[in-house]
Each structure stands twice: as C-alpha cells, then as structure tokens.
Structure 1
Amino acid sequence: MNSSLSRFGVPETLTDLPADIRDTILAVQEKAGFVPNVFLMLAHRPDEFRAFFAYHDALMEREADTLTKAEKEMIVVATSARNRCLYCVVAHGALVRIYSKDPLLADQVAINHRTTPISERHRVMLDFALHCGLDVGELTDDWEARLAAVGFTRDDIWDIGAITAFFGLSNRLVTLTGTPPNPEFYMLGRVPRDKR
C-alpha cells in the first residue's frame, strides 16, 4: 500500500477496485491527465467512495444551477482554508483559477476574502459560507435578507450551506488520512495555456 497518499493505504492497482470505481477513476484521469489523490484515498472504502462522489456531483456538477462553477469553488477554497485543509485549498484553488480565468483569485480568497477585490455578492456568499462552516450556521431572517439583497435565491442559500457542509466532511477526511494534494494542482490555471 502507498502510505504516502493515505495513512489507511490505497489500492495497489486500479485492477484491485470494483469495476464502477475503476471506471470513474479512469474517466477522471482521462479528463485531468492524472488521478487526484482523493480518489485513491476514498477507494479504500468503496461504498463511501460511491456515496461521496454521488453527493459531490449532485452539488457541484448540477446543470440547472444559478451558482456558477467559480462561485462554488470559491466557497470550497474559503471554507477549506479556515479548516486548514491543504489538499482542498490547492485542488479547488486550481479550479477557481480555471473557472474564473483569474490566476490570483484563489490565493486571495484562501487568505482573506474580505480584503479580496470581489463583488459584494461574492463577499456576502463567502461570509455566509463561513457562518455555516465555522459558526452554528443558522439561517436567520437577517442572513436571508442579506443574501436576497445580493441576488441569492433560497435554492442558492441551500447550495451555499450544503457545499460548505460537504467540504467540511471532505476537509476532515483528507486531514485524517494525511492525503497530500497532487503536485499537478499547484500550477493549474496560473499561466494561460498559450503562454506555457
């Protein structure tokens, strides 16, 4: 077992995995060019792998959505930074850079979204995400009014809270297992493709 990817070990080879999980990992490898370490770490428990990625995809890949992919990933980066989860800050920071086409945004959001040059909509979104992730997370009338004032619907509010909660789970699992971010994530989206 490769103990450098998880204190609990990862499969020796992809052929050791159930076919559906192997196919999922191979599809991600085809798209990304590498296998994100979190996939191998979670493959340690096949039923939990399936449940984790089913919920991940329901939240993050849903087609009919008003939150953009960049906004969702900003939520992940801001809350993961407060949870001190290097894996999620690095991996999802890469996605913020790619989706926003801004090579500086992810690092700024990770350090302090309140001093980052973002819209009031995004500032309120991230304030609420941190409220959900670090405080009790209650949706009060005041919070709902603040979020509605910058254009968020009740479905959006649910999504902000659910993404925060889901990645709180992810942050804790990655920290528990000691899973490091793949080196490939660090440079993704920092330099435009035509400048490499």
Structure 2
Amino acid sequence: MSRFAQYTIANAPEFSQPLLARVHKAYGFVPNLYATFAESPAVLEGYLALSGSLDKGALSPTERQLVEIAVSTENHCTYCVAAHSTIARMLKARPEVVAAVRTGAPVGDAKIDVLVTFTRAVVRNKGFVPETAVAAFLAAGYSKAQLLEVVGHVGLKVLANYTHALTGAPLDEAFQPQQWDAPELEVA
C-alpha cells in the first residue's frame, strides 16, 4: 500500500542522493523507510542527524535498540519493530529479551525492565510521566542524560513510526525474519 516512491540513490531528489549514499554505506543497502524519507531531503537529513547524535549518547547500543522497539510497539509500527529487532539481534541482544520487549512482557532484567517501562510511560503519557517513574529510572542507575536520550529516541521513532503509518513503506527482506504483527487499532 505504499503511497510514496521508494527512491534509490540514482533517482532520489538531488539533495537526498548523498544522504542515501551514506545510508547505503552504513547498512549495505537502503532500507525502504529511508528510501521514503528521501522524498523530503530535510526530513532525511534531520532523521540521520538526530540518529547519529543519539548513537553517541550514554545509552548502550543494545539499550538504544530496546528503547526503539518499545516506542515502535507502542506506536504499532510493524516496520520499525522488525528493523530494530533485527539490529538488536545483530548486536547479540538476548533473543528472549527482544521477544519480551516486542510483546510487552517483563524482560527479567530489573534495569532493562525499568528502561523499557519508562520508555513506554513517556510514549503513553506524551512525556507527562509520574514522578515515581522518573525516580525509578534514576534509582535503577540511569542518569538524567540517559533520561533525555530516551526522550530523543521517542522523538526519532515518532518521526519514523508516523512516516511508516502514512506512507506504507514495505518491509525490507533483511528485516522479514523479525516481522511483527501489530494489534488492531481503531483509526479515527
């Protein structure tokens, strides 16, 4: 149901071409969601910039992927759940941890459970999380910088999740083994 072109480096808008070339270098291919972002060079550039900045943050690579899976399940983004589950597995995240985050079950690791629970609270409450959730996050050993990074990842994934919902970018073959079926939603 893709309503938008899946651009390649060769046929993308001029200012998106070098950005897609960077994506190709990083992944070995251009994932379809990035190919869709290329419709707007400003959106593609902004997404890559925020993603690159967050990659330099204090959350570990695996923690970042678990946060992005949690956000994407909350937003029912089948594409992003599959993509970030694939990346988490590539990072050697324990399969049972990835599966738990995908289903909303407890992970079984107290610190990661707090991270995922806090992330879901940020999404569900649009940032207005109870003080007890903030206190639990900090008491688990996370820093205030990491708290803000969670918010950054929520923003990044809202851009990706909503873009996917609006454009219907097809799931890439590389992500299909981690395909995820979202629960049914009532659309207003």
C-alpha separation in 2, matches of 1:21 and 1:75:
27
Structure 1 gaps of 5+ residues are: 189-196
C-alpha separation in 2, matches of 1:88 and 1:24:
20
C-alpha separation in 2, matches of 1:24 and 1:49:
7
Larger radius of gyration: 1
Residue equivalent to 1:24: 19
Q: Deviation digits for residues 146-196 of structure 1, max 9, x if unmatched?
A: 1111101111111112212321221111111001220112348xxxxxxxx
- The alpha carbon displacement at 1:79 in A equals 1.8
Residue equivalent to 1:82: 74
Q: Between Structure 1 and Structure 2, how many residues are aligned?
A: 178
Instruction: Kindly report which structure 2 residues correspond to 1:146-161, keeping only aligned pairs within 5 A, or say none.
Output: 146-161=136-151
| Off by >6 Å, runs of 4+ in structure 1 | none
Equivalent of residue 97 in structure 2, options 73, 80, 105: 105
Residue equivalent to 2:117: 127
Cα pair 2:119 2:150 within 8 Å, conserved: yes
C-alpha separation in 1, matches of 2:3 and 2:65:
27
Instruction: Kindly report which structure 2 residues correspond to 1:182-193, keeping only aligned pairs within 5 A, or say none.
Output: 182-187=172-177
After superposition, the CA RMSD in angstroms is 2.1
Residue equivalent to 2:6: 10
- The alpha carbon displacement at 1:140 in A equals 4.4
TM-score normalised over the length of structure 1: 0.81
Cα pair 2:67 2:150 within 8 Å, conserved: yes
C-alpha separation in 2, matches of 1:136 and 1:23:
34
C-alpha separation in 2, matches of 1:139 and 1:25:
36
**For the structure 1 residues 102 and 17, does the alpha-carbon distance in structure 2 shift closer, same or farther, using more than 3 Å as the test?**
same
Instruction: Kindly report which structure 2 residues correspond to 1:20-99, keeping only aligned pairs within 5 A, or say none.
Output: 21-59=16-54, 61-62=55-56, 65-99=57-91
**For the structure 1 residues 66 and 35, does the alpha-carbon distance in structure 2 shift closer, same or farther, using more than 3 Å as the test?**
same
Q: Percent identity?
A: 24
Cα pair 2:32 2:169 within 8 Å, conserved: yes
Deviates more, 1:141-150 or 1:25-34: 25-34
Cα pair 2:118 2:133 within 8 Å, conserved: yes
**For the structure 1 residues 104 and 28, does the alpha-carbon distance in structure 2 shift closer, same or farther, using more than 3 Å as the test?**
farther
State the AA in 2 paired with 1:141.
Answer: E
State the AA in 2 paired with 1:130.
Answer: R
TM-score normalised over the length of structure 2: 0.84
State the AA in 2 paired with 1:38.
Answer: L
